[in-house]
Amino acid sequence: MEEVRQQRGLAYSVYSFFAPYQEQGPFQIGLQTKKEQSEEALALTQKVLKEFVMHGPTDAELVAAKQNIIGSFPLRIDSNSKILTFLAMIGFYQLPLTYLNDYLEAVEAVTIEQIRQAFQRRIQPDAMVTVVVGAKE
């Protein structure tokens, strides 16, 4: 987001996420951009991903991510349906019954090195599939 949207203005939105499943799920990056800058935006996105996999987040990025996750957590459990979603996840993934109590401490304990190693184990930037959707000329 910082490099592609904020610094270069190459996208309206940029996002990425892991889709967790019982088996290893996909990692997805998405962005919306103008057709005439799509190749530049894609190349920059791929470059940023490679650098992140190699080096991991900066100290500031890790602090911001932890603050976001910890600060928004109460909103993730503020209704019965959201709590039920967590309970279903705990059962499906056979997580400990203390998962909700332990979650914030676990987030706080994550290190840059753990993130870097996890990305290096799971993400192969040169082997990713790219799908471009747009109007035909």
CATH number of the CATH domain containing 87: 3.30.830.10
> Is residue 133, in this structure, part of any structural domain at all?
no
The rounded mean pLDDT for the chain is 90
Joined together, the tokens standing for residue 23 give 């088996």
Please state, in angstroms and rounded to a whole number, the distance separating the CA atoms of residues 44 and 50: 10
> Is residue 136, in this structure, part of any structural domain at all?
no
The pLDDT value given to residue 25: 80
pTM: 0.80
Residue 23 structural domain: 2-127
> Is residue 137, in this structure, part of any structural domain at all?
no
> Is residue 135, in this structure, part of any structural domain at all?
no
Q: To which H or E segment does residue 104 belong? A: helix 99-109
The pLDDT value given to residue 113: 96
Look up tokens 């940023």; give the residue: 48
Q: Kindly indicate the confidence band of residue 36, based on its pLDDT and cuts at 50, 70 and 90.
A: confident
Angle between helices 59-76 and 99-109 (to 10 degrees): 160
> What is the number of domains present in the chain?
1
Average pLDDT of span 98-106: 95
Joined together, the tokens standing for residue 59 give 């100290």
